[in-house]
Amino acid sequence: MSEKDYAVTLLSDFIKINTTNPPGNEEEAIVFLDEILTKEGLETQIFVPVKKRANILSRIKGRQIGKPIILLSHVDVVPAKIDEWDIHPFSGEIRDGFIYGRGAIDMKSQTISQLLAFIDLYKKGIVPERDIIFLATCDEEVGGKNGVEYMLNEVKDLQEASFVLSEGGALIEEDGLIHAQIAVAEKKVSQFMIKAYGQGGHGSIPTKNSANEKVIKASYAILSYKWPIKVTGVVNSYLNGILKDKVIEGVRFNTLKEGLKNKKIKEALEANPLFNALLRNTVTPTILKSGEKINVIPSEATVYFDARLLPREDKESFFSKIKKLCGEDVEIIRIDNSSADPKPSPYNTEYFTGIKNIIRRAKGDIPVLPCLLTGASDLRYFRNLNIPAYGFFPAVFSKDEIMRMHGKNERISIENYLNAIEITKEIVRFLASCKDKI
């Protein structure tokens, strides 16, 4: 079997292992990775925080002691509704030049790419300046308690890493042009639910201030509020980089600062879901729980909200505002599975420059920009230890492919995946040459 066919088979087989979280059950996937590593002669350690949940660590020893470089990924995936997919989400089916399945983008393709790059470094006999650690974990999709958080407590030198590379950014194709986004920061997860109680009864005899009416009124107040635009340094660099000299609604974009003063450009930016999320706090209703029968007025109703705050926003101030918007008729219950609020990583570093140079050698003189991740990742644990941590996978994705990531028919093209492996190998070889913490 050729190297390319082997890489495709690995990802297809890896996707077939159902690691939906919850419940996770990632142990089988970790054993899968362990068998590949040990077959190549690498030593591994498997850590089992709770039954059927597992993490794996493998290490290539460096010339210097301490401050390792970590290739980080997670093996769990978000749920997939089988009846919504055209192809079974855990089939790993190869069709029309694509590998399909939950995790094809987030992030089993990157796990295998890092695995193969790590093995390639070992087989070439390259001795890195610092230890290179391959770390694949469980539980990222629900907060990382049994994954990265657990591993940081179990393996102390992870807390002293000089650099961490994981998910977050990629090569983005839009209007026939490609730019690279390297995630150096992420928004704060600030999830909550509102709950109300009221008099139940028969639907034919409505009562005032029912539980449903209370949560609807409070939800409307939350959704009607327009959170102010606040431009962070990372977002300023990113949007200036990708929008410079573009014509938006008949107006040429020069800088973000100028653009936000122009009504047409400002409205266009706000109408773009990604740009809007980069510029302000977002609060999105995701789960509604209430009655079970059409003719029965429920006595209790709940709405769950997924809120994401800009990096410098204060959670207490945010929830004070939510309470003021909702009034006294509902209870606000905070849901926070995260023990860490993310700090941004610097991007005037040897690591950013090195990765940028590799990208441009592979893809030409394209924009390579720092970006803010609107979601959450395990990198927040390392950033809060003041460890430079970047999210980047060198695969090219269109807007349609990104929307499939947590949606239906998630897939990655074979050509794209194989190219990403080769660029990942270059990045890992570069990281092996890095001597000093920046």
What CATH number should be reported for the domain holding residue 362?
Answer: 3.40.630.10
Q: Residues 283-338: pLDDT tens digits?
A: 999 999 999 999 999 999 999 999 999 999 999 999 999 999 999 999 999 997 55
Q: Is the peptide bond before 344 cis (omega within 30 degrees of 0)?
A: no
Instruction: Tell me what pLDDT residue 336 has.
Output: 74
Residue 305 carries which side chain, given as an amino acid letter?
F
Same domain? 261 vs 136 = no
Instruction: Tell me what pLDDT residue 338 has.
Output: 58
The C-alpha R_g of the chain, in whole angstroms, comes to: 23
247 lies in a domain?
A: yes
438 lies in a domain?
A: no
How far is it, in rounded angstroms, from Cα 312 to Cα 276?
Answer: 17
Instruction: Tell me what pLDDT residue 178 has.
Output: 95
Same domain? 159 vs 283 = no
Q: Residues 199-218: pLDDT tens digits?
A: 999 999 998 889 999 999 99
Domain boundary among 335, 369, 385: 335
Q: Residues 217-229: pLDDT tens digits?
A: 999 999 999 999 9
Q: How many distinct structural domains can be found in the chain?
A: 2
Average pLDDT for the chain: 95
Single out the residue of 291, 272, 289 nearest to residue 280, CA to CA.
Answer: 272
Same domain? 169 vs 263 = no
Instruction: Tell me what pLDDT residue 340 has.
Output: 61
437: pLDDT confidence band, cut at 50, 70 and 90? low
Q: What are the helix (H) ranges across 26-107?
A: 27-39
Same domain? 323 vs 349 = no
Instruction: Tell me what pLDDT residue 62 has.
Output: 97
Instruction: Tell me what pLDDT residue 175 has.
Output: 84
> Across-strand partners of 390?
165
CA 298 to chain centre: 37
Same domain? 11 vs 130 = yes
Q: Please give the structure tokens belonging to residue 184.
A: 């150096």
What CATH number should be reported for the domain holding residue 193?
Answer: 3.30.70.360
How far is it, in rounded angstroms, from Cα 400 to Cα 393?
Answer: 17
Instruction: Tell me what pLDDT residue 417 has.
Output: 98
Instruction: Tell me what pLDDT residue 141 has.
Output: 95
269 lies in a domain?
A: yes
Same domain? 169 vs 195 = no
323 lies in a domain?
A: yes
Same domain? 63 vs 35 = yes
- DSSP letter for each residue of 122-134: HHTT---SS-EEE
Residue 224 carries which side chain, given as an amino acid letter?
S
Over residues 384-399, the mean pLDDT reads 95
Domain boundary among 298, 315, 335: 335
Instruction: Tell me what pLDDT residue 169 has.
Output: 96
Instruction: Tell me what pLDDT residue 337 has.
Output: 59
Same domain? 28 vs 76 = yes
How far is it, in rounded angstroms, from Cα 404 to Cα 119?
Answer: 30
Instruction: Tell me what pLDDT residue 207 has.
Output: 86
Instruction: Tell me what pLDDT residue 196 has.
Output: 97
Same domain? 281 vs 320 = yes
Q: Residues 21-34: pLDDT tens digits?
A: 999 999 999 999 99
Instruction: Tell me what pLDDT residue 264 has.
Output: 96
Instruction: Tell me what pLDDT residue 182 has.
Output: 98
Domain boundary among 335, 357, 384: 335
Domain that holds residue 423: 3-185+342-433
Q: Residues 71-120: pLDDT tens digits?
A: 999 999 999 999 999 999 999 999 999 999 999 999 999 999 999 999 99
Same domain? 350 vs 361 = yes
Same domain? 11 vs 150 = yes
Same domain? 328 vs 369 = no
Instruction: Give yes or no for residue 438 having a pLDDT over 70.
Output: no
